[in-house]
Amino acid sequence: MAGSKTDAFETDILELIFENADLAAIGDGTGLQGSSTPGDFYIALFTGDPTDTGSIAAEATYTGYARKSIARAGAQWTTASGVTENTAAITFDPCTGGSNTITHFAICKAGTRDITDLIYHGDLTASRNVSDGITPEFAAGDLTVTEG
């Protein structure tokens, strides 16, 4: 027998993870509490699928690349119907040399490249070539995560 989360609980989980919102009335009276210091997530770019193993072998390598920090807060993310999306543009530093064709992204726990700490990953709707002078960016609402 297998079970699955309800739509409402999927939304609650995403709000806890991304918006640091309390998930009330689960288990005991206090539920699952958001962090007292919510911290940041780090968005990473990839030239290939990191898969569910969280492989960092294909993380971007162009000159100027660094993971981009985004706060775990309601001002940075919005969640509805089991989907979380970024509320503002996520802009990376410009490429200053080399090039990569970016096909995937990941949400990580740390800002250091070469650390295997992915928690969510996905593919881009279209690959993006990044070369000298190009500044990669996710427009508001372009980076979405679903729970399910």
**Hey, what are 16's tokens?**
């806890």
Q: Would you state the pLDDT for residue 142?
A: 96
pLDDT over 90 at 147, yes or no: no
Residue range 114-138, pLDDT digits in tens: 788 999 999 999 999 999 999 999 9
Residue range 28-78, pLDDT digits in tens: 677 788 888 889 999 999 999 999 999 999 999 999 999 999 999 889 999
DSSP tag of 125: E
| 127-to-26, 76, 104, 124 alpha-carbon distances in Å | 41, 24, 8, 6
DSSP tag of 143: S
Q: Would you state the pLDDT for residue 28?
A: 67
Mean pLDDT of the chain: 92
Residue range 97-109, pLDDT digits in tens: 999 999 999 999 9
Q: Would you state the pLDDT for residue 92?
A: 98
Q: Are 38 and 70 in contact (CB under 8 A)?
A: no
Length in residues, the chain = 148
Q: Match 């679903």 to its residue by tokens.
A: 146
